[in-house]
Amino acid sequence: MSLENISCNKSFGGWHKQYRHLSTVLNCEMRFAIYLPPQVNNGEKVPVLYWLSGLTCTDENFMQKAGAQRVAAELGIAIVAPDTSPRGEAVADDSSYSLGQGAGFYLNATEQPWQAHYQMYDYIVQELPSLIEATFPVTQQRSIAGHSMGGHGALVIALRNPDQYCAVSAFSPISNPMNCPWGQTAFSAYLGNNLEHWRAYDSCELIKQTAAQPKLIKLPIRIDQGEDDSFLHTELKPEALQAAAQQADYPVQFYRHQGYDHSYYFIASFIDLHLSFHASHLKKA
């Protein structure tokens, strides 16, 4: 699979790069960003944190606004930030910001006209890591994190594939998409009316299911939520996730922060704690 490098910037001794490639899973051209810390300059291979962004975002939002490169350079962690959906003239879209391009919800669509391109779950779990590990000086040690829709995606992907990740964290995740307007809109369009298909992409439902699987790997989870987030009660519903974790005896570190909202000002304020959290578990692997 050929990669086209479209930008390259030195940052804290490492390199931030953007690439374009043709995705066979998504059936379109995709873009992603990668930060390679300075340790790779000496021939060292480093673990990878995959970052999933939220509604309307691209690969650029996190890399430009979160201020993660300094700490990633110190800790020796690569960061990969994919786009949030398939894109292009032939890719189905919608006038709403919460559906279509920029709103892939990190699932595999089963309904038309979305099915042909909206296979973001397989892209994040399979195709992109295979490409990254075959191309860049990284190990097979992975963590995953995200914000809002991306927090939903990170939790779902990690909970469904606990053997592939060392840890998962999220800022302001859409915790219970089956029971919020954003999730119901997306799931109805992408997955149809079969609620069993919905449950496969709902973090609360996935955590509840772990109670019946005592041998299942329980990943370290960290979640940070701003108390002044305008989407807190209507879309994010963190209390549902807390209740599910308590019911299933699933250890989740949950932190609430007074005065913080849904923006990248919030993420930038605590991203160093998330990176340190991931580094501690990546080193154990």
**How buried is residue 177: exposed, middle or buried, by Cβ count under 10 Å (0-12/13-18/19+)?**
buried
148 is catalytic: yes
- Helix, strand or coil, per DSSP, at residue 158: helix
CA distance 261 to 226: 5
Cα 236-242-246 angle, rounded to 5 deg = 160
Q: Which of 229, 274, 278, 281 is catalytic?
A: 229
Tell me, what's the pLDDT at 91? 98
Q: How far is CA 227 from CA 17, 120, 151, 257, 266, in A?
A: 34, 30, 16, 6, 11
pLDDT of residue 140: 97
> What domain count does the chain have?
1
Residue 214's pLDDT is what? 79
Tens-level pLDDT at each residue, the chain (285 residues): 689 999 999 999 999 999 999 999 999 999 999 999 999 999 999 999 999 999 999 999 999 999 999 999 999 999 999 999 999 999 999 999 999 999 999 999 999 999 999 999 999 999 999 999 999 999 999 999 999 999 999 999 999 999 999 999 999 999 999 999 999 999 999 999 999 999 999 999 999 999 888 788 899 999 999 999 999 999 999 999 999 999 999 999 999 999 999 999 999 999 999 999 999 999 876
> Is position 273 within any domain?
yes
Can you give the pLDDT at residue 1? 60
Q: Please name the residues in contact with 80: beta carbons below 8 A apart, sequence gap of 6 or more.
A: 32, 33, 34, 48, 49, 50, 51, 128, 132
pTM above the 0.95 mark?
Answer: yes
Domain membership flag for residue 260: yes
Q: Give the side-chain half-sphere CA count within 13 A for 250.
A: 30
We report the CATH number of the domain holding residue 214 as 3.40.50.1820
Annotated catalytic residue 172: no
**Domain range spanning residue 32?**
4-278
- Residue matched to tokens 């040690």: 141
Q: Point out the catalytic residue in the list 23, 148, 169, 175.
A: 148
Tokens for 55?
């509604």
Q: Establish whether 228 is a catalytic residue.
A: no
* Catalytic one of 117, 262, 274, 281: 262
In a domain, 284, yes or no: no
**Residue 195 domain-assigned?**
yes
